[in-house]
Amino acid sequence: MASNVQWSNLADGIDITDQAFRSSDTCTLIEDYLSDKTLDDVPENVRNCMSSCCKNNVSQYRNGVRTLDALSRREEYKGGIAPEVIEQIRGDCVEKILDGVAFACRIAERLAHMSSLEVKVFAHKMKGDYNRYAAEVLVSSEKYVEISRNAYTDAEELAKNLSPQHTLRLGLALNSSVFYYEIMNNSMKAMQVAKDAFAQAHVDMEDEDMINPDSANILQLIKDNMDLWGRKDDSDESTTDDV
């Protein structure tokens, strides 16, 4: 088991287990890594592994809830699968999501106290994202909605000190705009957040030297969402988030 390996450098262990799709081992190593009380910064590659690990903890269950919710609506109409069966499976998925949310929030809490600006933005964004995931699937979600909104607000204030083209700042704008659109049902606020981020970061997209590929990709996702939201129809197309 990779978790039993004695890593001389925990950051290397996090990177290797992440590349090997050993999410459970990666999570364990992340907790060990963050237990160092002297740690005051986290390099980007390790933060990326943290993102990957946390997403792996919840992604399949978020997709599962969406599928079950759609199935429930169809089967209620058709008189098919008993609603209580779907509800039981959904409850299991929600429990897994909440476990993943708790893990991500523990990481975010540790990172938020570091001095690095990028790490602080990353931490508050993560807190906003994962509380949003909880709000997506819970009927009584007011607590998670409030935590998510406050975390995004804190992250946005800090991110003003980053370049408008910085991947963290753009990813934050993408995800917070989705929060306003899907959780708060505030399409005007969502569109404004997206438009502001796009306008501030916009450059000639054909000039690859002007912007890094990751930022260009996020800008395109923001534009895709604006196009989707602007149509104001009943399209089944999904909003894009989670960067």
**Residue 1: its pLDDT value, please?**
44
Contact yes or no for 226/211 (Cβ under 8 A) = no
Q: How confident is the model at residue 204 (pLDDT cuts 50, 70, 90)?
A: very low
Residue with the two structure tokens 């946390």: 54
With residues binned 3-state (H G I as helix, E B as strand, rest as coil), the percentages for the chain, rounded to 5, are: 75, 0, 25
Which residue did the predictor score with more confidence, 11 or 231?
Answer: 11
Nearby residues of 130 by Cβ (< 8 Å), 6 or more positions away: 54, 58, 100, 101, 104, 105, 108
Residue whose C-alpha is closest to residue 122's, from 45, 197, 47, 58: 47
**Residue 6: its pLDDT value, please?**
55
**Residue 139: its pLDDT value, please?**
86
Q: Is the pLDDT of residue 197 over 70?
A: yes
Q: How far apart are CA 53 and CA 177, in angstroms?
A: 23
List alpha helices for 80-239, DSSP H. Answer: 83-111, 117-137, 142-159, 167-178, 187-201, 213-231
| Least confident stretch, 60-69, 92-101, 197-206 | 197-206
**Residue 212: its pLDDT value, please?**
86
Q: Is the pLDDT of residue 175 over 70?
A: yes
pTM of the model: 0.90
**Residue 207: its pLDDT value, please?**
54
**Residue 237: its pLDDT value, please?**
61
Q: Is the pLDDT of residue 111 over 90?
A: yes
Tell me the average pLDDT of the chain.
Answer: 89
Q: How confident is the model at residue 122 (pLDDT cuts 50, 70, 90)?
A: very high
Average pLDDT of the segment spanning 206-216? 74
| Least confident stretch, 72-81, 157-166, 218-227 | 72-81
Label residues 103-117 b or e (16+ Cβ within 10 Å = b). Answer: bbbebbebbbebeee
